[in-house]
Amino acid sequence: MDIYLNFDRPVSLHELEFFRALSKRRILGEPLQYILGHETFYGLKFNVNPSVLIPRPETELLIDIALDKLNAPEIIVDACSGSGVLGIVLAKKFPASQVIAIEISPAAIEIAKKNAIQHNINNIEFLQLDILHTSISNYVNNVDALICNPPYIAVTEKNTLQKEINFEPDIALFTETGLEFYEKISSEINSILKPNGTLLFEIHSEKENENDQTQLYGCYVVKRKVRAENPEQERVAAVGKAAPLFSLKNVLGQTVSLADLKGKVVVLEWSNPGCPFVKGHYENGNLPSLQKKYRGKSVEWILINSTNKNHKDYSEGSNLKAKFDAWKSAYSQVLLDQDGTVGKLYDAKTTPHMFIIDALGTLVYKGAVDDYPSTEGGKDAKINYVSKALDEVLAGKAVTISETQAYGCSVKYKGVR
């Protein structure tokens, strides 16, 4: 607000040096969330610093499923709690419950406590504990639910990840095999949970082969990535490989097949008008202007809605069309994927989540609209990844930034309410 009200005031040398320092940090790869000192998760702002993992949008699916599965729980355990986002959100959603957040790092616990105070949460306690080398059931038992987003990346994968990951704490990301926490917690889960209690995990895509809500050890499990249901197709859409074919009904009830668009450049945009991130991109004209620009260059722009019928964000086809039309969207088609089959095939995690397929049918880009995660719709973005990739594809060039971290609201797949 001060900048807006004083737009004609020259920037002081002190201010210039301050912003230069911030810019340098980002150029070197430091995540914007650490530079700003906060990240939004499930609609709440949380403090973050390099002692804690940055919350990811797809982890919101754990909250969605917990809210669907739990009924007046007395005790909830948030294992590997980090900044406390899962435990704090659940404590807020279940004010009569007691939440126990377990974390090995004292620095992370300090951040989590700060976040709990910030959100006036009084029904949470923090326990410093080395889960891998201590019996959890000696400290907590007879609980209704244990929710856990553990370190699940094998150390051998570290060098394959984007440079921003190097700024996040290794202890929150890596183990020797990526399986240790699942094995340890599962080995004593019967001593921790009540009968019919619920276990919720976030799982690396390579650790399990089932659907995104799988019963494992008699408990519900959530994974980050999902395999294709048709084993003859690519397990999940991958950049540099043929885009999996699909057919869906549009909002007019007509069948639209990706195979019929061969020879054209296609943009697939996972969207949900009820998501604040989607609203931001449409209400400020960011996505409509992109659609109009590239539709004029014979690009097919397809909106896909994977919101299940039981979710509050669900809209019938005609209502969905009306919402996008009111935003002056220049789409080619709006397709309905209520059972989530195509969303999971493409590993769509957020709304928006963007995919670009070249004229040969190869997936050449997947990820965010731009480099500035915000509900303001690209207002302060430096790079529009979609525009950059489309310009390169249309010019016959290789896409230089082919994969980025998508941001937005979690896709409301079947089973999420």
Q: What is the pLDDT of residue 232?
A: 37
At the top level of CATH, the class of 32-223 is alpha beta
Beta bridge partners of 147: 78, 200
Structural element, H or E, at residue 93: helix 85-93
Which CATH architecture group holds 247-410?
A: 3-Layer(aba) Sandwich (3.40)
Residues of the chain within CATH 3.40.30.10 domain(s) are: 247-410
**Residue of 340, 388, 382 whose CA lies nearest to 367:** 388
Helix (H, G, I), strand (E, B) or coil at 8: coil
Residue 169, CB-side half-sphere exposure with 13 Å CA sphere: 20
Average the pLDDT over 345-368 and give the result.
94
> Regarding predicted confidence, which is higher, 158 or 217?
158
Q: What is the pLDDT of residue 156?
A: 87
Checking if the pLDDT of 403 tops 50, the result is yes
Q: What is the pLDDT of residue 22?
A: 80
Average the pLDDT over 336-356 and give the result.
92
Name the band, by pLDDT with cuts 50, 70 and 90, for residue 233. very low
The percent of residues above 90 in pLDDT, for the chain, comes to: 60
Q: Which stretch of 36-40, 148-152, 239-243 has the lowest confidence by average pLDDT? A: 239-243
Strands 333-336 and 247-250, how do they pair?
antiparallel
Q: What is the pLDDT of residue 177?
A: 87
Q: Are 248 and 335 in contact (CB under 8 A)?
A: yes
Average the pLDDT over 237-259 and give the result.
90
Q: Which stretch of 13-22, 27-36, 268-277, 331-340 has the lowest confidence by average pLDDT? A: 13-22
Structural element, H or E, at residue 17: helix 13-27
Average the pLDDT over 314-341 and give the result.
91
Q: What is the pLDDT of residue 6?
A: 67
Q: What is the pLDDT of residue 99?
A: 97
Query: Would you call 71 exposed, middle or buried from its count of C-beta atoms within 10 A (0-12, 13-18, 19+)?
Result: exposed
Q: What's the pLDDT tens digit per position in 194-226?
A: 888 899 998 865 544 444 444 333 344 443 332
Q: Which stretch of 13-22, 44-53, 141-150, 345-354 has the lowest confidence by average pLDDT? A: 13-22
In sequence order, what are the residues at sequence separation of 6 or more whose Cβ sits closer than 8 angstroms to the Cβ of residue 243?
237, 258, 266, 355, 357, 361, 362, 363
Q: Which stretch of 37-51, 192-206, 219-233, 399-413 has the lowest confidence by average pLDDT? A: 219-233
Q: What is the pLDDT of residue 415?
A: 64
Checking if the pLDDT of 70 tops 50, the result is yes
Checking if the pLDDT of 286 tops 50, the result is yes
Average the pLDDT over 239-255 and give the result.
90
Residues of the chain within CATH 3.40.50.150 domain(s) are: 32-223
To the nearest whole number, what is the mean pLDDT of the chain? Answer: 87
In sequence order, what are the residues at sequence separation of 6 or more whose Cβ sits closer than 8 angstroms to the Cβ of residue 288?
282, 327, 328, 329, 330
In sequence order, what are the residues at sequence separation of 6 or more whose Cβ sits closer than 8 angstroms to the Cβ of residue 218?
none
The percent of residues above 70 in pLDDT, for the chain, comes to: 90
Q: What is the pLDDT of residue 3?
A: 58
Average the pLDDT over 291-314 and give the result.
92
Name the band, by pLDDT with cuts 50, 70 and 90, for residue 81. very high
Residue 352, preceding peptide bond in cis (omega within 30° of 0): yes
